[in-house]
Amino acid sequence: MEYSAIILAGGAGTRMKQASPKQFLLLAGKPMFMHTLERLEKISSIKEIILVSVPQYRELLAANIDAYMLQKKYLIVDGGESRQQSVLNGILAASQDNVIIHEAARPFVTTDEFQALIDEPCEDAIYGADIPFTVLLKKNGFISNILERSELLNVQLPQKFGRQPILDVHQRAAAEGKRFTEDASMLYYYTGREIKILPGSHCNIKVTEPIDLILGEFIYKEYIIGRD
């Protein structure tokens, strides 16, 4: 199978308290999003990479692609007002029958982990990790229910889907005004399709807060170097 990789690179990153969006901040000496692009460059079944960006950073993304001499086909498309709208824009731009969706703020996924997702026989698959802490339901500031931790999942990216099914549910959600925080839950909600869960890694963090950059340097040194 051949894939379009959709990379969400349009976040403002306001919680990072930096002048530049977090995807452009340096991690191990290079822009954060570049770690993901360099790994995807190694995978032959990925035929194009679609970067979803806010308009004012399109030129900066393109300049970095040129500076790092990346070779695959790259498209830069405008994001929407929400993550969900940005994903839909990326799917609409994709030319392959299968898509991989990932976030520029998750730079610790290795080439082997991308390849394992592609090699998974199920058309729809995600990464997920067990939750090592207690999660309770709340209502009006009080505990309202107890959840069984063994049944819960920390949903991670990258995720892969057939392009047409995930496009269909995105367009349906847009028409109905429904909001989802990621794409596997949307697909399951509308179709009930089987979505394979691959074992994720607790190193696959999303860089959101300033402390995550400090932690990220440690993860890169101890987890990425020598494995990728």
Taking residues 113-139, report their average pLDDT.
96
pLDDT band of 16, cuts 50, 70, 90: low
- Residue 53's pLDDT is 95
Task: Tell me: cis bond preceding 158? Omega within 30 of 0 counts.
Answer: yes
Q: What angle do CA 165, 162, 124 make, to 5 degrees?
A: 100
pLDDT band of 228, cuts 50, 70, 90: confident
Residue 30 to residues 36, 141, 162, Cα–Cα distance (Å): 11, 43, 32
CA dihedral 64, 85, 126, 211 (to 10 degrees): 60
Taking residues 17-31, report their average pLDDT.
81
- Residue 22's pLDDT is 80
Taking residues 23-52, report their average pLDDT.
95
- Residue 19's pLDDT is 57
Taking residues 72-90, report their average pLDDT.
97
Instruction: Judge whether 1 and 118 are in contact, CB under 8 Å.
Output: yes
- Residue 157's pLDDT is 98
For the chain, percent of residues with pLDDT exceeding 90: 86
Which helix (H) or strand (E) element contains residue 222? none
Mean pLDDT, the chain, integer: 93
Domain of residue 149 covers 3-224
Question: Coil, helix or strand for 75?
Answer: strand
- Residue 14's pLDDT is 56
Taking residues 62-74, report their average pLDDT.
96
pLDDT band of 223, cuts 50, 70, 90: confident
**Domain harbouring 91, CATH code:** 3.90.550.10
pLDDT band of 63, cuts 50, 70, 90: very high
Instruction: Write the single-letter amino acid at 142.
Output: F
- Count each helix (H run) and each strand (E run) in the chain, helices first: 7, 11
Question: Coil, helix or strand for 89?
Answer: helix
Closest-CA residue to 54 (of 113, 20, 11): 11
Instruction: Judge whether 3 and 47 are in contact, CB under 8 Å.
Output: yes
143-190 pLDDT, tens per residue? 999 999 999 999 999 999 999 999 999 999 999 999 999 999 999 999
Minimum mean pLDDT range among 11-20, 93-102, 203-212: 11-20
Q: How many C-beta atoms surround the C-beta of residue 73 within 10 A?
A: 12
Counting Cβ atoms within 10 Å, is residue 155 exposed (0-12), middle (13-18) or buried (19+)? Answer: middle
Domain count, the chain: 1
